[in-house]
A and B are shown apart, each in its own frame.
Chain A
Amino acid sequence: MKKRVLMKRGLALTLSAAVMFSASGCGSSKGSSADDSGSGKTGTLRVAIWDNNQLAGLQEVADDWAKESGWQVEFTVMDWDSYWTMLEAGVSGGEMPDVFWMHSNNAAKYMGADVLLDLNDYIENDDSIDMDNYFEGITDLYTLDDTHYALPKDHDTIAVIYNKAIFDKYGVEYPTEDWTWEDFAAIAQEISDKGAADGVYGTYCRSNSHQDTWYNIIYSYGGKVITDDKKASGYDDPATIEAMKFVVDKILPSCPTPDSMASTGADTMFQSGLVGMICQGSWMVNSFYTADNADDYAWVMMPYADVNGNGQCDSGERCSIYNGLGWSIYSGTKNADAAWSLISHFAGKEGQTKQSELGVTMAGYIGCSEPFADAFEGMDVSPFVDIEEQGTLIFRPYSKSTAIWEDDASMALVDAWNAPDTMEDVLKQIAADMNKTLAEE
């Protein structure tokens, strides 16, 4: 009897692995449920994600859970666009994965439509989950009217990556974590000046480089993008205006021209050795770690803005935008208990620590991200983790209609990028438009 079960399990594992590698589109195989041996129900849970980089690591974490529970976990990976199309169609058609990722761009829409399972009772009855252990911004994001709709999966922060080869070539000193945005601009300018003949630029910042670049600068200068109550725009805040003027007046001159940046992306230029340093999110680490010239790259913590001018980094002067995905369960799933058990394993301390160890992402669980810093042999990624202690984490600005006002702002800023003098007027216009959008929410 026992042997038979084992064999069955082995077979199912192989099968799910096969499905996993074929990366089939919409999972059409129904959970092969009801193996009536033992006490609890077992079967297959379908999990949908959009990042192939994370698949291997997450599968490993899921396998630990599968071993204990007897369930199988079948991952489906889709690219970002297909992922949301699949969910959108799945909601109308009823064919949904049991467990899937949620993101700040779409959370409000899904929470408001009864698509996600209400997790409150589960959280209350599960000793391993205490919502206070997670980053507040992420927990808040997936909460609507005091109902939790997702468990935090991870968090990401921003750091600066620089190309040591370029710094060496032009005799510029490597940046250290004790640097201000003014220093950043000066270093970038120095590289641009010395590298002009080779077509090498100091840095890169596009009108839509918000989360990885200028959002961070706005908050470091004490500005904001949206008010705390999410009712009004922060683009007309004097500190925001000052920060954005700094971006176009001090940082932009050491970037490729706006036309060039609109033609070639930051990663491409950086990895081609044409840009000295750029701000990047922790979700991009793997792409730089596996790049051809990875040995030349090093990370350093985000600069601070010396707002009070005392020559040191004070609280709130060094900011990194952070964001986090959530693990959600489909409200119509037939396997709600198992699905909860799985996401509580993913979000629990053990699962979160393992996720960091494997270098999948940093943890959504506060204090479990240390191992991430050592996960990439030969590349020090500690600046992403250090900023939690030595800086201020600001949750990526959002409201119900983020997708609208964020794009509008990026589009409007194209003008300011091409004519820096107009920045203040452009920002005031953005604020007015954004307030209109917010009023319609």
Chain B
Amino acid sequence: MKKKMSPRAKTEAIWGLAMVTPTILGLLILNYYPIFETVYQSFCKTGDFGKGNTFVGLKNFIDLFHDPEVFSTLFNSVKYAVMSLPLTIGISLVLAVLLNRKMVGRTVYRTIYFLPMVCAPAAIAMVWKWMFNQDYGLLNHLLNAKINWVTDSSIAMLAIVVVGVWSSLGNNMILLLGGLQDIPKDYYEAASVDGSTGIHTFFHITIPLLSPMLFFIIQTGIMGALQLFDLPFMIMDQSSRAWPSVKTITYLFYEYAFERSNRGYGAAIIMFLICIIGVITFILQKTEKKWVHYE
């Protein structure tokens, strides 16, 4: 039988509830309501100012599957994810391992790598835009080259990836550092007694024990990369011939929802993206048991 709550537990419960109420309200109003509204709008031909929405069923989705731009922009988003994620994770893992040792200036390095995280993304993009400028930019000046960083469609995405990787290194590094410090020293001692060294220890002790954190970073990284919007938007001009090669699906959504006042189609595009992210997350979760080791 359930025990009755003591007066103290009751007060605690009430206070607890009172404390989370603002968050719950915020979630309901700012997250859940818009989600359902978006789902609804994706089935509508939307009118101006949210008035006069007419239900059109699956029309937006049928249009969407016949729209080559949806797939080309989705391809760009996927391309960004595929290019940026391995780089981000690889580099931040190496950095985290290096910065996990006792060394002079450790905190200084950690701070430097984390700095991009505290800068406004728009400011970062503006600075990179000028560094990439092909005629007057810092990069070409230093390299004494004339590379069309953001106007040549074959390398523009690479330029965006560089900025994306650079700005997310710090955050991933800190997360991985946290993971590294959770690994008990005993394992390493035992391994060294058995004659394991450097690389071998890294792959057979560090990586497996870090896998829960890696899993988390991969999962959030994929979601973030597929939702990329601000970097191409800020760094590139749309009169650049390379623009179609970096235009992401979230930008396409923005274009329809806000510039072309076609909220319904925009909502359909974003629903499509949500489904794709959902499927990827589902697959990841299913494979989790195979390679993620919880102690």
Is B239's CB under 8 angstroms from A207's CB? yes
Which of A6-14, A257-265, A275-283, A302-310 forms contacts with chain B? A257-265
The segment from B8-16, B129-137, B167-175 that touches chain A is: B129-137
Q: Is the interface of B mostly helix, strand, loop or mixed?
A: loop
Known: A264-B136, A407-B259. A259 touches B48 (CB 8 A): no
From A92, A264, A415, contact of B135 by CB (8 A): A264
**B155–chain A nearest beta-carbon distance, Å:** 12
A261 to B236, CA, bound (A): 11
8 Å CB contacts to A: which residues of B213-269? 236-243, 259-261
Contacts of A115 in B (CB 8 A): 49
Q: Is the CB of B241 within 8 A of A113?
A: no
Q: Does A418 contact B (CB under 8 A)?
A: yes
Verify B48–A260 contact, CB threshold 8 A.
no
Whether B151 is near chain A, meaning CB under 8 Å from some CB there, is: yes
Q: Which residue of chain B lies nearest to A407 when distances are taken between CB atoms in the complex? A: B259
Q: Known contacts A403-B261, A414-B243: does B238 contact A259 (CB below 8 Å)?
A: no
* In contact, B152 and A208 (Cβ under 8 angstroms): no
Inside 8 A of A410's CB, which chain B residues have their CB? 238-239
- The yes or no answer to B150 lying at the interface (CB within 8 A) is yes
Chain A residues with CB under 8 A of B184: none
Q: For this complex, into which size category does the number of interface residues on chain A fall?
A: 20 to 34
B22 at the interface (CB under 8 A from A): no
A100 CA / B205 CA spacing, docked (Å) = 66
Chain B residues with CB under 8 A of A259:
134, 148, 151-152, 240-241
Contact with A along B193-210 (1 / 0, CB 8 A): 000000000000000000
Q: How long is the Cα–Cα vector from A404 to B49 in the complex, in angstroms?
A: 18
| Contact between B239 and A262, CB atoms less than 8 A apart | yes
CB–CB B48/A92 < 8 A:
no
Task: List the B residue with the shortest CB-CB distance to A87.
Answer: B49
Taking the complex as formed, is A394 at the interface, i.e. its CB lies under 8 A from any CB of chain B? no
How long is the Cα–Cα vector from A258 to B150 in the complex, in angstroms? 12
A259 to B, closest residue via Cβ: B151
Residues of B within 8 A of A417 (CB): 239, 241
The residue of chain B having its C-beta at the shortest distance from the C-beta of A272 within the complex is B136
Residues of A246-270 at the interface with B, using a CB-CB cut-off of 8 Å, are 256, 258-264
| Chain A 76-98: CB-based contact to B (< 8 A → 1; otherwise 0) | 00000000000010011000000
Say whether A112 faces chain B, with CB atoms less than 8 Å apart. yes
Check if A263 sits within 8 Å of B150, measured CB to CB. Answer: yes
Q: What is the bound-complex CA distance between A407 and B254, given in angstroms? A: 14
Q: Give the nearest-CB partner of B148 in chain A.
A: A259
Q: Which residues of A contact B152 (CB under 8 A)?
A: 259
A139 and B198 alpha carbons, distance in the complex (Å): 78
Decide yes or no whether A199 CB sits under 8 A from chain B: yes
Contact A411 B238 (CB under 8 A): yes
Distance between B132 CB and nearest chain A CB, rounded to angstroms: 8
Give the residues in chain A near B150, CB-CB below 8 Å: 262-263
**Assuming the A-B contacts A263-B135, A264-B136, A404-B260, are A414 and B239 also in contact, with contact meaning beta carbons closer than 8 angstroms in the complex?**
yes
Asked if B49 and A261 sit within 8 Å, CB to CB, the answer is no
Interface centre among A92, A256, A259, A263 (most CB of B within 10 A): A263
In the bound complex, residues from chain A placing their C-beta under 8 Å from that of B48 are 109, 112-113
Q: Are A199 and B259 neighbours in the complex by a CB distance under 8 Å?
A: no
Task: Contact check, A199 vs B135: say whether CB atoms are below 8 A apart.
Answer: yes
Which residues of the partner chain B approach A92 to less than 8 Å between Cβ atoms? 49-50
Q: Is the CB of A258 within 8 A of B239?
A: yes
Tell which of B51, B134, B238, B243 touches A260, judged by Cβ atoms closer than 8 Å: B134
Residues of B within 8 A of A403 (CB): 259-261
**A206 contacts the other chain (CB 8 A):** yes
Cα distance, A262 to B235, chains bound together (Å): 11
Could you tell me the distance in whole angstroms from the C-beta of B45 to the nearest C-beta in chain A?
11
Chain A 93-135 per-residue mask, 1 if CB under 8 angstroms from chain B, else 0: 0000000000000000100110100000000000000000000
Alpha-carbon separation in the docked complex, A115 to B136 (Å):
47
**B residues within 8 A CB of A418?**
241
The answer on a CB contact under 8 Å between A262 and B237 is yes
A residues 372-419 touching B (CB-CB < 8 Å):
403-404, 407, 410-411, 414-415, 417-418
CB-contacts of B15-45 with A (<8 A)? none
> A414: which B residues are within 8 A, CB to CB?
239-241, 243
CB-CB under 8 A from A256, the residues of chain B are 135
Chain B residue nearest to A112 in the complex (CB): B48
11 example contacts (A-B, Cβ-Cβ < 8 A) are as follows A113-B51, A115-B49, A206-B239, A259-B134, A260-B134, A262-B150, A263-B132, A263-B133, A263-B137, A403-B260, A411-B238
Known: A206-B239, A263-B151. 6 other contacts (CB 8 A): A91-B49, A258-B151, A262-B241, A263-B135, A263-B137, A417-B239
Kindly list the 3 A-B residue pairs having the minimum CB-CB distance in the complex, ordered from nearest: A262-B240, A259-B151, A262-B237
